Amino acid sequence: MPQTKPSAAEDYWSKFLGIETYKLEWHAKRLLYSLFGITLPKLRDQRHYWQRRGEVYLDEITSSGYLDREIFFQNMLIDFLGGVPFSSFFEAGCGFGWNIGRVKREFPNAFVGGVDFSRSQLTNARRYLQGAEIPLVNGDACAMSLKDKAFEVGFSLGVFMNIHPARIRAALAEMLRVCSRCVVHIEYDENNTTPALREKRAFKTNIVSHDYRGLYRELGAKVVEFRTHADFGEAFRAHARTTTSRLDRWEGFEGPEKYIFLVVEP
């Protein structure tokens, strides 16, 4: 279904004095937490949030210097895939297509696809991936319209941390259902981060920590690789020192402690 342009009223409510309202909400939540220790409930469904934010996400990210730093984690995925023979790969929460575009370039013979529930993100993905043979599906990671074992390898990067605790088991079960070989996650786990980052993220209603190892084991999956910032932090800092672009992003850039690297087999 084609993406419709927001009406004048929708555009008005999406901004205040030229600033996107989700940025204003972020600052308001941070102020409540820093002044009064108040944290608001985590968002149960982020479809509306990412529909709004997805309208500007591609241009915001690609012009900020963010990806020059984030590519370190994407490289971890590419290095892993280079040692695992596979013929098909998909990303749950593919956004504007940055990761799947890279996978297709690095492994042109593989069948690569993407799923996202934000229509605005998928609209931008079609623009970003123009010319690439990568099918995109509008769907929820907790209930994907994909056949059992449709892909060999499934992946997420900073996506499942946006799924509410009440729904995370369904999402992980879906990854195991859809993937025949393995699932790779680069996600946030507050039990394997730093106190400083836990504090910095405490007020955010769109970021949730999950015990991925424990949850997957409960679902009967086998954890075959697990790494944290203690393992790749120094390599990240070495990469960051070679980055020459200026970081110009309203949220800044959090370091290697924001992710774990996890591989599980069904």
Mean local confidence (pLDDT), 20-45 = 87
Q: What is the pTM of this model?
A: 0.91
Indicate the domain borders of the chain: 18-265
Write the pLDDT tens digit of every residue in 127-159. Answer: 999 999 999 999 999 999 999 999 999 999 999
Model pLDDT, residue 39? 92
Model pLDDT, residue 25? 85
Write the pLDDT tens digit of every residue in 79-124. Answer: 999 999 999 999 999 999 999 999 999 999 999 999 999 999 999 9
Write the pLDDT tens digit of every residue in 51-67. Answer: 988 998 999 999 999 99
Write the pLDDT tens digit of every residue in 218-253. Answer: 999 999 999 999 999 999 999 999 999 999 987 889
Structure tokens at 2: 């084609």
Quick check: 13 pLDDT over 50? no
Model pLDDT, residue 250? 76
Homologous superfamily of the 18-265 domain (CATH): Vaccinia Virus protein VP39 (3.40.50.150)
How do the residues of the chain divide into helix, strand and coil, expressed in percent and rounded to 5? 45, 20, 35
Structure tokens at 61: 């990210």
The better pLDDT of the pair 173, 12 is held by: 173
Percent of residues, the chain, with pLDDT higher than 90: 83
Task: Grade residue 9 by pLDDT with cuts at 50, 70 and 90.
Answer: very low
Write the pLDDT tens digit of every residue in 203-215. Answer: 999 999 999 999 9
Model pLDDT, residue 251? 80
Model pLDDT, residue 52? 86
Average pLDDT, the chain: 92
Rounded CA-CA distance 112/109 in Å is 9
Task: Grade residue 11 by pLDDT with cuts at 50, 70 and 90.
Answer: very low
Model pLDDT, residue 3? 40
Task: Grade residue 185 by pLDDT with cuts at 50, 70 and 90.
Answer: very high
The sheet carrying 136-138 orders its strands as 136-138, 111-116, 88-92, 151-157, 179-187, 260-265, 222-227
Model pLDDT, residue 27? 84
Model pLDDT, residue 7? 40
Percent of residues, the chain, with pLDDT higher than 70: 93
Beta strand residue intervals within the chain, DSSP E: 15-16, 19-20, 88-92, 111-116, 136-138, 151-157, 179-187, 222-227, 260-265
Model pLDDT, residue 14? 60
Which residue type, as a one-letter code, is found at position 223? V
